[in-house]
Amino acid sequence: MYKWQKMFSLTDKYSHEKTESYWQLQRQNDLVESITKFSQLNTNKAKNVIIFIGDGMSIGTTTAGRVYMGQKLGKNGEEHTTTLDQFPHVGTAKTYSVNKQTPDSAATATAILTGVKTANEVIGMTPATNCTNNQDVETVLEKAAKLGKSTGVVTTTRIQHATPASAYAHIPQRRWFSQVGARSGCKDIAQQLFDKRNDIQVLLGGGRVHMHGATDTDVLDEFGNNVSGDRIGSDQNLIQRWKDAFGDNVTNLYVNNKEELNSVAPETTDYLLGLFAGKEMEYRLSNTPRSQVQPTLPEMVEKAVKILRKNEKGFFLLVEGGMIDKAHHKTLVKYALEEFSEFDKAVQVAKQLTSDDDTLIIATADHGHVFTFGNDGPRGRSFSNVMTNQNQRWNTIGRYFSNTAYGNGPNFNPPAWKIMAGAKRQAESNEYQPLTAIKRAGETHSAEDVIVYASGPMSHLITGVHEQTYIAEVVSHAACLGNNADDLEHCRVSA
């Protein structure tokens, strides 16, 4: 069999794609769909707003994630369509911060949620700021709460981490999760979270350790064991104080595992605090006992939306798929793509539980990673495969190739057992780490633009290339959160 015949034999189940008529019909259908979407722009008022942030979700991640998800369904993968792919309006956002070409999550999430760019490490403040000079910038969550809307924050990282904290906190150092290490005069992130308890109806994620003291004996982990926190001094159990603040009212609940979350009745629950891990939640591929008792991101989003949507004035919800970023930093590519899959499923849940008529959904990333997807491989190449002598040249130092790689990271010079045959065995595991071009202990963020997806009221404004701050402006405009709301025609009409 000739080489070109082998190439086509790999895609026999897609023989229909070899005809001109197939592609003609596909492109014509796409055009009709696009004409319909753009001829009927949704200019309604956004009663509800959901912002999804895939932490570290670069365009390489969304593309590789699409193929990964498709292959799990038995397809080649490239032709698969994700929930994000189906959003009608798409643009890109510049991610640089005020002081760095390559940003962090604090600066980028602050830009998305406040409309103001700041410096790396800073949350909810201008760059030239400290804890006493009143340089806080208002977030879209805080604006929504002022208007009587319900609000929520859902994440797979700790609830005090940079991205979720950017919805409610104002602090010059993102790592001041608790009073331990916080500079004198600064209120730590967990304390700020507690102080906002009446304005945030749903809080779901990790971060239990920052919510109670080292000497507490009444806080249990997801397995029912006593755990210690990192807060110092008396009356530092913020979990117990959260419970006490709402009294014995059964409509206000604290949960710490999947079973307890499943038992929550949205129709009778007004306030819900769920802390499912001491710090970050587990990767979905980790398959540890702890991961089995933690809810998934789609499950948390479902519960949050069902609770928040009871408010006749509407709601604002921030959702972070935070473990995409954590996996990329470790160059655990399969972990990152599984987290992307969970993120996409969570977006699908939100779409199913809301209506495009009154709910603006924006899905984007805070920043990307130096992650690449592609190589000279055939259609449908698995993420468990490495290149061999039969289908790919080896480089001069004998290292293997795969369809993913990182610009920097820990797997720069793999040990001998990973070379040749060993590379294939290692690639078949979930812990597979692709090669990196530059040696570093951990992989870094990228400085690239990120994709912004949008659906619902005013979603057509998400198009072209903009600063990340533009996202906050679109949200304020669509949901009538700004000071000029009374001057806008769509704001004078009920959603």
**In CATH, what number is assigned to the domain containing residue 68?**
3.40.720.10
pLDDT at 488 over 70: yes
State residue 429's pLDDT score: 84
Residues 193 and 283 reside in one and the same domain: yes
pLDDT at 393 over 70: no
Question: CA 461, 465, 470 angle in degrees (round to 5)?
Answer: 55
Residues 193 and 303 reside in one and the same domain: yes
| Inside any domain, residue 3 | no
| Inside any domain, residue 21 | no
Residues 342 and 467 reside in one and the same domain: yes
Residues 329 and 390 reside in one and the same domain: no
Residues 278 and 409 reside in one and the same domain: no
Q: pLDDT tens digit string along 197-234?
A: 999 999 999 999 999 988 887 777 888 888 889 998 87
| Inside any domain, residue 144 | yes
Residues 365 and 417 reside in one and the same domain: no
Predicted confidence band of residue 421 (pLDDT cuts 50, 70, 90):
low
State residue 389's pLDDT score: 42
Q: pLDDT tens digit string along 105-162?
A: 999 999 999 999 999 999 999 987 777 777 899 999 999 999 999 999 999 999 999 9
Average pLDDT, whole number, for the chain? 89
Cα–chain-centroid distance for residue 156? 8
State residue 390's pLDDT score: 43
Residues 107 and 215 reside in one and the same domain: yes
Predicted confidence band of residue 30 (pLDDT cuts 50, 70, 90):
confident
Where residue 327 falls (left for φ over 0; alpha for ψ -120 to 50; beta otherwise) is alpha
Q: Return the residue matching tokens 């994440």.
A: 155
Consecutive H or E run containing 403: none
| Inside any domain, residue 181 | yes
Least confident of 207-216, 283-292, 385-394: 385-394
Predicted confidence band of residue 395 (pLDDT cuts 50, 70, 90):
very low
- Name the strands in the sheet holding 436-439, side by side, starting at the edge strand that comes first in the sequence: 371-373, 404-409, 436-439
Residues 139 and 171 reside in one and the same domain: yes
Q: Which residue numbers are catalytic?
A: 105
Give the residue with greater pLDDT, 383 vs 341: 341
* Rounded-to-integer distance, Cα 109 and Cα 106, Å: 5
Query: Residue 325 carries which side chain, given as an amino acid letter?
Result: D
Q: Indicate the residue among 427, 444, 461 that finishes a domain.
A: 444
State residue 385's pLDDT score: 79
Q: Are 142 and 152 in contact (CB under 8 A)?
A: no
Residues 411 and 429 reside in one and the same domain: yes
Domain tally, the chain? 2
Percent of the chain with pLDDT over 70: 90
| Inside any domain, residue 242 | yes
| Inside any domain, residue 16 | no
Residues 6+ apart with CB under 8 A from 10: 378, 379, 380
Query: Residue 76 carries which side chain, given as an amino acid letter?
Result: N
Query: Residue 105 carries which side chain, given as an amino acid letter?
Result: S
Q: Indicate the residue among 444, 460, 475 that finishes a domain.
A: 444
- pTM > 0.95: no
Domain that holds residue 89: 45-369+449-492
Q: Are 141 and 168 in contact (CB under 8 A)?
A: yes
* Rounded-to-integer distance, Cα 303 and Cα 310, Å: 12
Neighbour tally for 66: CB within 10 Å: 23
pLDDT at 4 over 60: no
Residues 124 and 52 reside in one and the same domain: yes
* Rounded-to-integer distance, Cα 314 and Cα 112, Å: 20
| Inside any domain, residue 479 | yes
Check the CA dihedral 241-302-77-12 and report its sign: positive
**Residue 340 DSSP SS3:** helix
Residues 389 and 353 reside in one and the same domain: no
* Rounded-to-integer distance, Cα 199 and Cα 145, Å: 6
* Rounded-to-integer distance, Cα 294 and Cα 282, Å: 8
Check the CA dihedral 350-311-158-131 and report its sign: positive
| Pairing state between β 404-409 and 48-54 | unpaired
State residue 48's pLDDT score: 98
pLDDT at 11 over 60: no
State residue 423's pLDDT score: 61
Residues 405 and 327 reside in one and the same domain: no
| Inside any domain, residue 326 | yes
* Rounded-to-integer distance, Cα 65 and Cα 62, Å: 5
Q: What is the mean pLDDT of residues 462-466?
A: 96
